[in-house]
Structure 1
Amino acid sequence: MFPTPTITFIFIFLVLVPSATQASEEEQRLYADLLNNYNNLERPVANASEPLIVKVRLFLQQIIDVDEKDQVVQVNAWIRYIWYDYKLQWNPADYGGISDVRFLGSLEQIWKPDILLYNSADENFDTTYKSNQIVYNSGEVMWIPPGILKFTCPMVITWFPFDDQICDLKFGSWTYNGHTLDLQIDSDNPLSPHQMDLSDYVTNGEWGLVATPAKREEKIFECCPEPYYYIVFSMHIRRRTLFYWFNLIIPSLLISVMTIFSFCFPPDAGEKMTLEITILLSVCFFLSMVGEMTPATSDAVPLIGIFFSTCMLVIAASVIFTVVILNLHFRAADTHIMAPLLRKVLLEWMPWMLMMARPGYRYHKGRCIVERPRVHPFKHIDAKIANQKAVITDAATDAQIIMLHRLNTELKEITNRMFEEEEKEAIENDWRFAAMVVDRACLILFSIFITACVVAFIACAPHIIA
């Protein structure tokens, strides 16, 4: 007496094994009948004058890499081809209810279109997997070869890193013309901006997918009068700019703003020139990083490259103006004399326009008014002594007069030297104040210019954050 589980197993085996054997025999017979007198070189149309319609659909899985330097894009995708083969039709009732069969893609048992990616950049050109073809009883053949597609894409770097790229995948028959093979786009909604199937799409961290339109084009080559149809699947991708904002743009903006603060240093500060040179080297470093990120092309200069070049020119100009300011600040009265025009511009017009204040001076309508003008103390005394007439006195009085005259001469010489020192100090103070005026003018001008550059940079960008 067998146990209950054993009896159940024997019953299932006796019931299913004959049916499985019968199904295998039916499928074997179906394959034999379908391949009987079948030629895989023959185009599967009943009327040779009619073109075979092949519908193409692209399933985008992932954008693997976008190489701006080599202008090559690599994606993971599936391509679905559907056509009808009039020789591969059968009645499922005659073959045990079998409604579909598979043919090995590697054996080339049935006909399939020689559709290739025209702008392939792979060394093997066709990198799709030789997958099986599914044949339905109606004669419909569906072939979905997956693959890693590597194709060329001309990059427009004018707006880098706020750029959009449109990359085309051109699929077409390599030998069949439009009279024998008619390629059509397989789409559920022709008006949709996404003609690629994105049901299994994996979002890329660097590029956002804006749209995936498709179009059918026709081209006539010089060698052949027949038209050739091909389908162009386009990928409209937009670069995500958050990385560039935090790693390039914002640091460069902060460094450029430091140029403005360098004019807040006193002209005699020794760190003024050191700060300017350090800022210039920092911007040169960022500019070299941008050069490594962008394609090596001479057709256009990227927007961020123009921005960094402008920053570098601004900082270089600030270094030049800093040298001019230091030169003005350290000029001495023994070596330099301020020209009248320069004095008018630097000591009268510009301080009044910049609303600057200077102790002992007042500015009104472009004129400098000295509140306490300096007068030589012996100027009026010498004039009075010269106008007095000599009076004859005794010998004692003459001695006193001679002594007073000598004392007057000594005091006059000491006073002249002090007055000359004050004059030299006043001239040097004029040069120092002129340096301060130029420093203030540079502070205002560079602030306006850098602000204008940032506003123009943001205004020119097609989008700020994607």
Structure 2
Amino acid sequence: MMNLSLLLASLATLFSLSSGQEDGTFREEYAEYATTLREDLLRRYDSAVPPRSRRDVNYSKAGTDVAMEIRMFKVEGVDSSRGQMRLKVWVRLAWTDLRLSWDPAAYGNITQINFRSLPPTQGTEIWTPDVQLYNANVGNAATLDNSLATAYSDGSIFWSRPGILDTLCKFSGLVAFPFDSLSCSMEWGGWSWSGGFQGILLRGAGYSESTQEDTAGSSYQEYSIAEVSVDLKTNFYDTFPSEPWTLVKYTVKLGRASFYYTLLIILPTLMLTYLSFGVFFMSHEVGERLSFGITLVLVIEVMKTTAASFVPVCGELLWIDLFMLVSTVFCCASLLETMAILFLAFHVEKHVLPSWLAWMAPWFLCRSDSDIMVESKAGRIYRQLNRENSNRLHEKQASFQKGAKME
């Protein structure tokens, strides 16, 4: 029984070794067979014609379905004032082209081969998908690097390109700056080929995160990718009413490093606002009370200018704008209170109002009734007080004169 088990194990090992030798992709003769295979496959191949495949959709059997995946590498930059986002990504596309299938036994058992693959308008050797980023600031044909596409013996093609996605974003979530989470959407779809010739599917979840590379991810950066969601939908346009156009929408949610803004703007402004209340506890005899309030108002304005440089000019009231406005109001209120206290403390005139305004006030407090001047209550009280003060003043002057005569 033991000998039979050993014999079966030996046969399994020999079978695995022999099957491994059957694949000629990594053999020494690969170059000769690959050259011959490329010549045979490209002899009557037209890269401008959509490939032939076995599609499962009902509206078309022509063309092929393209599976799409974006591998997120890192955030290169975000400019919220200009509405731009730059991501370092790997864009992966997979499809089937039966014109590029072959029998491995006829070509040294090689199962894969590479072709020079470029965007459709740049002279590629084989047909490549025409998948464009609709809201790109710079087209992805210019920002993604050129690379070789790998074709397998069953006609499946895999094409991966690294590069930068420069996207024009309609940001949402900026109202809570600097404690916000910005969201930017990227819309991908066919430009020359509709869904009748080029369907778009998701490869896996449609996206993946780079975790195997040591240089992936963010370090000492303001933004990082917090969440990614992918949606598929179909559009119909007036120019092609009978052809569906598949649209892939990637929504990237970015998390902001808010601690920097808290330490640079929020805490200093909050401390200065509380310091402005210190004038309430100062005596009016302190000469620096007024200059202290003015200085705090100027510092708050500088902080407001600093905060404004980080946010775009928009028609919405942001949280940081409201925070700065409240701080400015409190500092100005403290300054106005200081001005009022100093005015009342060092006022030496007979009236609080200026003399010309005190002389004109009673006349404005009178009203006419049937051409008869009728004095108002406030005017009557004011005149009575002036009359009493005038009598006291005359009595004092008379007593002074009488005392002077006696002397």
Flag whether TM exceeds 0.5 (same fold).
yes
User: 2:93, 2:159 within 8 Å by CA — same for their partners in 1?
Assistant: yes
User: 1:58, 1:79 within 8 Å by CA — same for their partners in 2?
Assistant: yes
Q: 1:283 maps to what in 2?
A: 300
Cα drift, residue 46 of structure 1: 4.8
Q: Deviations over 1:334-371 (max 9, x none)?
A: 5459xxxxxxxxxxxxxxxxxxxxxxxxxxxxxxxxxx
For the pair 1:273 / 2:285, whether they are aligned, the reply is: no
Distance change (3 Å), C-alpha of 1:185 and 1:277: same
Cα drift, residue 23 of structure 1: 3.2
For the pair 1:258 / 2:270, whether they are aligned, the reply is: no
User: 1:196, 1:213 within 8 Å by CA — same for their partners in 2?
Assistant: no
Distance change (3 Å), C-alpha of 1:150 and 1:336: closer
For the pair 1:130 / 2:137, whether they are aligned, the reply is: no
For the pair 1:94 / 2:106, whether they are aligned, the reply is: yes
What amino acid is aligned across from residue 120 of structure 1 in structure 2? Answer: A
Matches within 5 A, 1:35-74: 35-46=42-53, 49-74=61-86
For the pair 1:222 / 2:234, whether they are aligned, the reply is: no
Matches within 5 A, 1:16-415: 20=28, 22-46=29-53, 49-106=61-118, 108-122=124-138, 126-156=142-172, 157-187=174-204, 195-199=207-211, 200=213, 201-203=216-218, 205-225=221-241, 226-298=243-315, 300-332=316-348, 334-335=350-351
- Would you tell me which structure has more strand in proportion to its own residues? 2
Cα drift, residue 288 of structure 1: 0.7
Q: Tell me, what secondary structure is at the counterpart of 2:117?
A: coil
User: 2:231, 2:250 within 8 Å by CA — same for their partners in 1?
Assistant: yes
Structure 2, unaligned runs of 5 or more: 1-26, 55-59, 354-398
What amino acid is aligned across from residue 40 of structure 2 in structure 1? Answer: D
Provide the C-alpha distance between the structure 1 equivalents of 2:84 and 2:313, rounded to a whole number of angstroms: 13
Distance change (3 Å), C-alpha of 1:125 and 1:319: farther
Q: Tell me, what secondary structure is at the counterpart of 2:35?
A: helix
Structure 1, unaligned runs of 5 or more: 1-18, 338-408, 414-466
User: 1:120, 1:126 within 8 Å by CA — same for their partners in 2?
Assistant: no
User: 1:117, 1:126 within 8 Å by CA — same for their partners in 2?
Assistant: no
Provide the C-alpha distance between the structure 2 equivalents of 1:142 and 1:264, rounded to a whole number of angstroms: 75
Provide the C-alpha distance between the structure 2 equivalents of 1:293 and 1:72, rounded to a whole number of angstroms: 14
User: 2:77, 2:85 within 8 Å by CA — same for their partners in 1?
Assistant: yes
User: 2:130, 2:190 within 8 Å by CA — same for their partners in 1?
Assistant: yes
Q: Tell me, what secondary structure is at the counterpart of 2:75?
A: strand
Say what the alpha-carbon RMSD is for the aligned residues.
Answer: 2.3
More deviation in 64-73 or 151-160? 151-160
Cα drift, residue 92 of structure 1: 2.0
Provide the C-alpha distance between the structure 1 equivalents of 2:266 and 2:235, rounded to a whole number of angstroms: 45
Cα drift, residue 87 of structure 1: 1.1
What amino acid is aligned across from residue 38 of structure 2 in structure 1? Answer: Y
Q: 1:359 maps to what in 2?
A: none
Count of aligned positions: 315
User: 2:75, 2:224 within 8 Å by CA — same for their partners in 1?
Assistant: no
User: 1:196, 1:212 within 8 Å by CA — same for their partners in 2?
Assistant: no
Q: What TM-score, normalized by structure 1, do the two folds share?
A: 0.64
What amino acid is aligned across from residue 187 of structure 2 in structure 1? Answer: K
Q: Tell me, what secondary structure is at the counterpart of 2:90?
A: strand
Cα drift, residue 24 of structure 1: 2.4
Cα drift, residue 328 of structure 1: 2.1
Percent identity over the alignment is: 23
Distance change (3 Å), C-alpha of 1:335 and 1:90: same
Cα drift, residue 245 of structure 1: 0.7
User: 2:51, 2:96 within 8 Å by CA — same for their partners in 1?
Assistant: yes
Q: What TM-score, normalized by structure 2, do the two folds share?
A: 0.72
Provide the C-alpha distance between the structure 1 equivalents of 2:296 and 2:157, rounded to a whole number of angstroms: 66
What amino acid is aligned across from residue 64 of structure 1 in structure 2? Answer: E
